[in-house]
Each structure stands twice: as structure tokens, then as C-alpha cells.
Amino acid sequence: MNPVHIIGGGLAGSEAAYQLAKRNIPVIIYEMRPEVMTPAHSGGNFAELVCSNSLKSEAQDTGSGLLKAELELMDSMLIRIAKECRVPAGGSLAVDRDMFSAKVTETLSAMENVRIVRGEVRDIPADRPLIIASGPLTSDTLADKIKSLMGGGLYFFDAISPIIDFDSVDMTKCYFKSRYGKGDPDYLNCPMTKDEYDAFYDALMEAEKVAFEDFEKMNVFEGCMPIEEMAARGRKTLAFGPLKPVGLEHPETDKRYYAVLQLRKENGEGTSYNLVGCQTKMKTGEQKRVFRMIPGLENAEFLRYGSVHRNTYINSPSGLDDRFRYAEGFYFAGQITGVEGYLESIASGLIAGYDLALRLSGGESRPFPKECALGSLGLFVTDKYETTRKKYVPSSFHFGMLPALDERIKDKKLKKNMMAEKAVNALKDFLDNTEM
Ligand code: FAD
């Protein structure tokens, strides 16, 4: 059997490779790192999480919880490894990012029918079957080739937040607590009075930022909006948004603050912490100066600075079907298709790998049920669930992508739980009736 060629050993490429290789289909993964790096990755391992280390909530009445439940049902390698590498983060699945990508690399390298080729792919290979999963930071040469193939490409921008050394935090000013005291007190909180917040806000607004060509047209994904962009909406926006203090009163004094910055654990040992919501395009010297104005972070040691990068995605509705197939034996997967987020990228890699494996082993390919998250992501990239939007804009999965329930349910939580149950049942049914 001809091997499947997969460009990109990121989240989507790794999951697609596993779905094929575990069904005895030979795979070659082409990964340019560490020879050629992207602006966001830091090493050569597969499935590197470039920004947050969180795969978000595990509650099934959230989009991320439902996606994870479905991915587990489909035997997702990445979700299994994520659970093996988890670090405490309340109700979320956060991982030790180094351990996570090391384990993904080890697992794929140890599979008999997986070959790994390092180096940049500069053109779309003629070999089939092929999955292009080169991600939002696809190298320029390959991105140009993909753009010509698709008759034009689209861009938007994404941002990452700084990581600091825990030992440099002044713990006389900060405290551990999860919002409303729910779950383990995993988050580290830096509380601010109104004066401290105002001083921070002014410094943030005045700080020097990295200039972008065509900056005014920068189209930022809302969930990863740079802190200064959000702050520019109004003086109080941060205090009602990422720095909101509700449920974060001091655990000993019960004091309520004007604003609270939360820091999330980056690794199992808790030696490094991520400044939640502080993605930024401030210059690095300015990040140090401005974030050090936050109480407790006066001497913060920055292990990684925040930054903003270009994201590349194709106009999927003009080329892909609901299983991410562009042509016979040719798929795209991951964020390059316009699905947005770690889980969605894993999911699209899984769908493409599963569908290809099904066809290569003589099975009958069928769309995933529209009632489940995997099926609705397929409909999203083909633009079938949304008929009114003027242009194709990336999105993460949300319950609005699922068909409405037959009955009207007022209680939002109950409604989502019912939709999630329906989704999982539909997927189970699909699997029971699919021959591989
Ligand atoms: P990737 O994981 O990036 O994998 C693509 C792989 O292809 C990379 O390993 C790359 O080196 C390789 N590659 C690229 N070009 C070539 C080539 N020509 N030849 C060979 N190999 C090549 N999502 C979230 O849910 N949470 C976040 O916090 C978050 N932060 C992000 C921050 C930034 C800066 C960016 C850019 C994206 C972020 N995302 C985030 C979005 C998205 O979930 C991630 O980018 C995710 O890694 C996408 O998975 P992927 O498999 O599509 O691409």
C-alpha cells in the first residue's frame, strides 16, 4: 500500500497519522522543525502547544468538553496523552506542554508504520494520498503554493501571552484560589486596587507596540485578542473581562479587589506560570516594565514574552467537503482549514485521518452525524451550517453549530447537557454502523 504523506507534525498531523497508522496504513510525516522554525514554536517535538497549555473545560455542557468526549470516543491519541500529562487546573484539562509533545513524538516514532522526515516541504507534492496539516504558521513558500491552488488565501492574527518564573513572584501579595473557590485552588492571583489598576492601564495604553504592516486591518480572533486591543475599548473593559475580580476575594481576609490578574500553571511542578489573557504586541522591554507594575510581579522573571503572529487559513467552503477532503486522496486538516483552536485542530486531523483510513481499507465513507461536534465542524468548513455570513471567518466549536433540540428548553445548562447527550449518542450510533 502507498504511504499517506502528511505535511506537518502539529496537532492535526499527529492525530491524523495515528488514526491511519493504528489501522496498519503506512504514513510519512514531514515536519520542518527544528531545521526551520515557525515564529511561535520553540522546539522540534510534535504537537507543540504554542500558547496556552490548556485544552479547556472538561464539563460536557461546554463546547470544549463535548469535543473532548467525542474525541475520546474516537480513540484520539492526543487526548489520551493530554490526560497522561495533565497539570491541576480546576475543571480544565491543562497539560505539561513539554511532556505532552515529547510523548506524542515518542508514541509516533515507536509505531512501526510511521516514518518521520525532517525538513521544509516547499511545494505541494504530487504523491497521493496526501494530508496538508501545516498549520496557521505554514512556511511562506508552501503557503504561496497553497494559496495559488485555492485561488487566494486569507489571513488573520493570533497572540500569545507571557510566561514567568514562579520563584520570582512576591507571594506576600498574591494568593492561590480558583474562581468562587471551585475545585482545587490552582490559579495564582495578583490583586489590584483601583489606583494600581489605573496606573497599569495607563502604562499599557502608552507602551510601545510592535508595528505591523497594514496594522489597521489586523483581524484578531476574539478569544486571543491582545490585552491592549481589549483595553482600548474602555478603561473598565479589562476589569470586567480577563481581570474581573468576582469570586476571587482574598481567601483569608475575604477582601474584594478592583481587579485581579490570574496566572495559570504551565507545568506539573508549578515552576512557571502563564499570565492569563495577557497576549500582547507590546515590545519585550515594555512587557517587562508594564507587567511588573502588577502587585506581586514587581520582580517577575520572564521565561517567554507575549507576541502576535500571522495566521494562515484557506477558504475551505470553496474547496473542502465535510470530511476535510479537497480531492480524491487529498485532504487538509488543522487550523489551516479555518477551524480555530487546539481541540478543533485535533478533531479535524482525526476526521481526515479516519475518513482516509476508511476509504483505503475499502469501507464506505459517510459524513459524521450533524448532531455531534465532529459532524458540525465538517459542516462549518463547508459553510453549510451558516448561510448568512458574507465571508468565511475561523471559529472554534460552539453549541450554536449543533441542530436545535425538538423541544424548547429554557434552562441553558440543561439544554446544553441534552444537546451533548444527543451528540454523543449520535456518534456512538455512527461508530456502531461504520465498518472499518
Ligand atoms: P500546528 O500545530 O502549528 O502544526 C503544523 C506543523 O506544520 C508545525 O509543526 C509546523 O512546524 C509544520 N510546518 C509548517 N510548514 C511546514 C512545511 N512547509 N513543511 C513541513 N512542515 C511544516 N489555540 C488554542 O486553542 N489555544 C491557544 O492558546 C492558541 N494559541 C495560539 C497562538 C498562536 C501564536 C497561534 C499561531 C495559534 C494559536 N492557537 C491556539 C490556534 C491553534 O489551535 C494552534 O495553532 C494549533 O497548533 C493548530 O494546530 P495545527 O495542527 O493546525 O498546526
Determine the pLDDT at residue 212.
63
Mean pLDDT of the chain: 91
Strongest mean pLDDT among 15-19, 180-184, 318-322: 15-19
Mean pLDDT confidence for 90-111: 96
Q: What percent of the chain has pLDDT over 70?
A: 94
SS3 helix, strand, coil % of the chain, rounded to 5?
35, 20, 45
329, 129 Cβ separation under 8 angstroms: yes
The number of CA neighbours under 13 Å toward the Cβ of 145 is 12
What is the dihedral sign for C-alpha 171, 173, 177, 179?
negative
Give first-to-last CA distance, the chain, whole Å. 16
Q: Which helix (H) or strand (E) holds 130?
A: strand 130-132
Pocket test for ligand 1, best of 31, 54, 108 (most atoms within 8 A of CB): 31
Angle at 140 between CA 308 and CA 214, to 5 degrees: 45
b/e 319-346 (16+ beta carbons within 10 angstroms → b): bbbbbbbbeebbbbbbbbbbbbbbbbbb
For residue 334, pLDDT beyond 90: yes
Left (φ > 0), alpha (ψ -120 to 50) or beta: where does 306 sit? beta
The confidence band for 436, taking pLDDT boundaries of 50, 70 and 90, is confident
For residue range 136-193, list pLDDT tens digits in order: 999 999 999 999 998 766 677 777 889 898 999 999 999 999 998 877 778 999 999 9
Distance (Å, whole) CA 311 – CA 138: 8
CA of residue 224 to ligand 1 center, whole Å: 14
Of how many residues is the chain composed? 436
The confidence band for 9, taking pLDDT boundaries of 50, 70 and 90, is very high
Distance (Å, whole) CA 45 – CA 28: 16
The number of CA neighbours under 13 Å toward the Cβ of 17 is 32
Measured from the Cα of 47, ligand 1's closest atom is 2
The confidence band for 221, taking pLDDT boundaries of 50, 70 and 90, is low
Pocket test for ligand 1, best of 5, 11, 42, 45 (most atoms within 8 A of CB): 11
For residue 217, pLDDT beyond 60: no
Determine the pLDDT at residue 195.
98
The single-letter DSSP state of residue 117 is E
For residue range 390-420, list pLDDT tens digits in order: 577 788 898 888 888 899 888 889 999 999 9
Determine the pLDDT at residue 289.
98
* Domains of the chain with bracketed CATH: 4-153+314-432 (3.50.50.60), 160-309 (2.40.30.260)
Strongest mean pLDDT among 52-66, 120-134, 295-309: 120-134
Q: Give the three cell numbers for residue 131.
A: 494530508
**Residues whose CB is less than 8 angstroms from the CB of residue 148 and which lie 6 or more positions away in sequence, other chains included:** none
Determine the pLDDT at residue 43.
95
275, 263 Cβ separation under 8 angstroms: yes
For residue 324, pLDDT beyond 50: yes
Q: Nearest to residue 308, comparing CAs of 162, 201, 135?
A: 162
CA of residue 8 to ligand 1 center, whole Å: 9
For residue 311, pLDDT beyond 90: no
Which residues are part of a known binding site?
A: 8-13
Distance (Å, whole) CA 341 – CA 57: 13
For residue 326, pLDDT beyond 80: yes
Q: Give the three cell numbers for residue 281.
A: 504586541
For residue range 270-303, list pLDDT tens digits in order: 888 999 999 999 999 999 999 999 999 999 999 8
Q: Give the three cell numbers for residue 123.
A: 511545494
For residue 215, pLDDT beyond 50: no
